Amino acid sequence: MWRLVTALGLGVLFVGCTVNQDLMFRTEADHVFDSLSDTQHEAYTLAPNDRLQLQLFSNRGQRLMAMTAGSATDNQGANILFQQQQRAMFTYRVELDGTVELPEVGAVMLAGLTLDEAERKIEAAYESEYVAPYALLQVVNNRVLVFPGEAGQATVITLQNQNTTVIEALAEAGGIRQRGRSKEIKLIRQRGEENFVYPMDLSTVEGLEAARTIVQANDIIYVDSNPNLIREVLADVSPVAQLVTTFTSLWLTYQVLQD
């Protein structure tokens, strides 16, 4: 019988190695985090592989304003023209070297610029082609990955608003899950070849300032999970225990038959 007990013990040790293996992005106790204050109110800047939609108007957007001023009859032609432009809108990609190839003017360096700065630069690039150009720029493929603290619940959030905050992204993902630790949240951001990890504690009202941090494209918001040792150990040990029980029953049956 002692052999069966030993087998059960070894089984527990073996399966114990699989407990809480769904936890990600762990940091050592002495890990030095990056300072959140350095990036908290940072406006989004364009980066390689961003996809942009561009609307360009002449005369400082006179046609655009014509759609929101005056009578509907006067603006019918402008509205039709605008709708045609919307249907024909193209997407432009920020290349790996940071440039965007635009019609008529060629490559324009936009990486590292905010949307406002990029719009002004595009307007300057088209000054020789149009009278008082007016640019409207939108990034259409910005996404943030949210891991809310429970396995199988990760969400990819498409940023509709370039000033989306951490708390908004968490809300879109359904909030922090039951196993999630609001006290231990990591904002992971890549810059070039480096990854920066910013810690957040949203367990108290003092964490509101951190929660209002503006997210950037491809950020990862990771909520640490509470270890669930008992349930996971029981779930892992259960098959082993059943196997040992079966062997025990067979052994006892064999002993009875021998007697």
Beta bridge partners of 51: 93
Q: DSSP code of 77?
A: H
Question: Which helix (H) or strand (E) segment is 246 a member of?
Answer: helix 229-258
Give the CA angle between residues 152, 155, 156 to the nearest 5°: 140
3-state secondary structure at position 20: coil
Rounded to whole angstroms, how far apart are CA atoms 94 and 236?
48
pLDDT at 175: 93
Rounded to whole angstroms, how far apart are CA atoms 103 and 82?
19
Tens of pLDDT along the chain (259 residues) come to 555 555 555 555 554 455 556 677 788 877 888 888 777 677 788 888 899 999 888 887 766 666 555 544 455 555 555 555 554 568 899 999 999 999 999 999 999 898 999 999 999 999 998 888 999 998 888 889 999 988 778 999 988 777 889 999 999 999 998 889 999 999 999 877 788 999 999 999 999 999 999 888 889 999 998 876 555 555 555 666 666 677 677 767 767 777 6
pLDDT at 67: 58
Q: Which of 36, 44, 100 is CA-nearest to residue 218?
A: 44
The answer to pTM > 0.75 is no
pLDDT at 27: 80
